[in-house]
Amino acid sequence: MKQLIRLEELLMLALGMVLFTWLDYAWWVFAALIFIPDVSMLGYAINEKAGACIYNIFHHKGVALMLYFLGLFLESDIITLIGVMLFSHASMDRIFGYGVKFADSFQHTHLGWIGKRKEN
């Protein structure tokens, strides 16, 4: 099942790259911005709950698609770019097993636990 999810996410990452090609930016911009959403992990410096909330906003594909279509509607290349980058980044993360976070631990995601699970 994990391989099927990874394949699906790989195809969505490819879709994000196709959507990027429709924008008027050089490819180095994609490479430079692909990891920017991970800045949202700084929310974990506040606490687990805030960290998960902030991280999830930056890694939610619904938010990414909303921004993408809002950018198209407003004819704003920058908003469209933000949507594409958030969507592409979320897909890339999920290929590697990083998912939407639960508030109890950074390692607890909708895809399961990352690394070794903490023992209670």
* pLDDT tens digits, 44-66: 999 999 999 999 999 999 999 99
Give, for 69, the enclosing helix (H) or strand (E).
helix 61-74
How much is the mean pLDDT over the chain?
92
Residue 117 banded pLDDT, cuts 50, 70, 90: low
Residue 105's DSSP bridge partners are: 102
Residue 7 is predicted with a pLDDT of 95
Buried b (16+ CB within 10 A) or exposed e, 21-31: eeeebeeeebe
Is the pLDDT confidence value at 108 over 90? no
- State the helix-helix crossing angle for 77-95 and 2-21, rounded to 10 degrees: 160
